[in-house]
Structure 1
């Protein structure tokens, strides 16, 4: 379980540090967009009040609390599931990524009322309107790892 905790803590810290650096230190909040390696990578400010890509977005405060509760419930379920039996390191790492990412987005919803998204990737000629953050990457990678590697452990 130590690996789950370490992965979750590192993911959470990286996510929150990246948001402080980009949103506040680089002042993306006011600037709204910074070309990093245009068009491939830009910092583009977006406040996500829904889940990925703004799905189920709601300006209502109830929606925010429902999403916080859902993220906490999923993170708790993954934690309890991983604790219940022995899993490989990659499964524990995946669980930590998912939990740390979920907690990063929960903190955003508590502090800002929405998730701070700022990473935007496009290609020449196609402008991607969506932004994401480190927590989103971790949640996706963690969920993918759990699906891909769970059940592949050797049983004795």
Structure 2
């Protein structure tokens, strides 16, 4: 009986792992994302493009839709749908961070996705669209430019890639 009580006390007394570092990473992503968007929005006029290299331009673009401007040409309802989806995603990611705070790669992935989701959510709530400014393309090609994107989008894609790697590692064990 005494050993059962001792193990119970040991288990219940173990410290919970904090999600603060993961929220800190997300906050850094949001900060970098918003600083870059505000800077480009102040220095450029809508549609303006400045070449940086033979395969990369800075451009001020607005995306009223989702990834690859999906539903961007709709009447405006998509702003509210994508805002609601982002809010639900943020809540769910925070829940997952609390449940799995000790799983480093998984939480890195979630923190990047969280930061990106919040960054784009801020744009939708303030401007009604997402500010994009990174324009990559293949030089001397008839192929169109990839859709412009931003730091939040990079964080989301990076987080998704890390999530896939984490799952593949987990399945491999």
**Same fold judged by TM-score > 0.5?**
yes
User: What is the aligned partner in structure 1 of residue 52 from structure 2?
Assistant: 36
Q: CA deviation at 1:104?
A: 0.6
CA contact (8 A) 1:43 1:118 kept: yes
CA contact (8 A) 2:55 2:137 kept: yes
RMSD across aligned positions (CA): 1.9
Q: How many residues align?
A: 150
- Deviation per residue, 1:122-156 (Å, 9 max, x gap): 12113415200000000111122123214857xxx
C-alpha distance in 1 between matches for 2:147 and 2:35 = 21
C-alpha distance in 1 between matches for 2:28 and 2:161 = 19
Q: CA deviation at 1:7?
A: 0.9
* Secondary structure, counterpart of 2:132 in structure 1: strand
User: What is the aligned partner in structure 2 of residue 23 from structure 1?
Assistant: 41
TM-score (norm. length: structure 1): 0.86
User: What is the aligned partner in structure 2 of residue 11 from structure 1?
Assistant: 29
Structure 1, unpaired ranges of 5+: none
* Secondary structure, counterpart of 2:27 in structure 1: helix
Q: CA deviation at 1:59?
A: 4.1
CA contact (8 A) 1:58 1:64 kept: no
Structure 2, unpaired ranges of 5+: 1-18
Per mean C-alpha deviation after superposition, the further-off stretch among 101-110 and 55-64 is 55-64
Counterpart selection for 1:123 from 126, 138, 151: 138
C-alpha distance in 2 between matches for 1:77 and 1:21 = 31
The list of structure 1 runs, each at least 4 consecutive aligned residues, that deviate by more than 4 angstroms after superposition, is: 150-153
Per mean C-alpha deviation after superposition, the further-off stretch among 104-113 and 83-92 is 83-92
